[in-house]
Amino acid sequence: MKKQSERNVKAIIVGGGSSIRMGFDKLFAEFGNQTVIEHSINAFTKCSFVSDIIIVINNNNKKRLEDIIVNIKTDKAINIVEGGTTRRNSVAKGLELINRECSYVAIHDGARPYINPEQIRKVLEAAKEYGAAASGRPITDTIKKCDRDSKVIGSIPREFLWAMETPQIFKYQTIKEAYDLVIKNDIQVTDEVSAVIHYGKTVKIVQDEWKNPKITFPEDLNSKPPSL
């Protein structure tokens, strides 16, 4: 077992959304022999460098999540916190449970079940080198810019475009101060990279060899679940 001093990463798994587009909570949808969120949790339980896992969830789903966690075999502490009204506020609530003794914070979308321990490790190594890193994939589709009527008004070169995924991993002080800044100035962000960029820091992107899309629509559940 790793010494506690070497287990210096705390993970925040974000699952506070309402899943309106699916008509039910996608986090608890069956995906293979597990629920979607179980795949995400299990990926982090298998990371020796992770000490604690914080799951931010809609309070209506707290009991369902507790019933799942009790059956997960791990020596890591798993805590549940009620989510906020926005992603920014949900992540902020997770950060409230982390103190300065933590070296790095890994933030992951609970609805991205294709994550694996090796990709988490790669992002962490980049975060150690650059202070901030995130999983992503280069855009391969042709991208068009449209007006409000969905009429094409131009093309966007894709050479330097990346689709952001998670986890996104940061030095604790970096993500804490970045979130303090965006909350103080009431800046809404859709991921943590955006908050850190507002804070004036550079973020290194680590390419994921496998797509790790967010489960959004029912047909997304038709894919083969990850083997963790």
User: Which pair of tokens denotes residue 28?
Assistant: 């608890």
Instruction: Confirm whether 228 is domain-assigned.
Output: no
Q: Please state, in angstroms and rounded to a whole number, the distance separating the CA atoms of residues 152 and 142.
A: 12
pTM for this structure? 0.92
What pLDDT is stored for residue 111 in this prediction?
A: 94
Total domains in the fold of the chain: 1
Tens digits of residue pLDDT in 169-225:
999 999 999 999 999 999 999 999 999 999 999 999 999 988 888 988 888 887 766
Tokens 């997770």 belong to 94
Tens digits of residue pLDDT in 18-70:
555 556 678 998 888 899 999 999 999 999 999 999 999 998 899 999 999 99
Instruction: Confirm whether 227 is domain-assigned.
Output: no
Q: Please state, in angstroms and rounded to a whole number, the distance separating the CA atoms of residues 13 and 24.
A: 19
What pLDDT is stored for residue 1 in this prediction?
A: 46
Relative to beta strand 204-207, strand 132-138 is parallel
100 and 175 Cβ atoms separated by less than 8 Å: no
CATH of the domain at 62: 3.90.550.10
Domain range enclosing 194: 4-222
Neighbours of 59 (CB within 10 A): 11
Find the Cα–Cα–Cα–Cα dihedral 80, 193, 47, 74, rounded to 10°: 0
Instruction: Confirm whether 141 is domain-assigned.
Output: yes
What separation in angstroms does the CA of 183 have from each of 29, 104, 174? 32, 20, 14
Instruction: Confirm whether 185 is domain-assigned.
Output: yes
What pLDDT is stored for residue 228 in this prediction?
A: 44
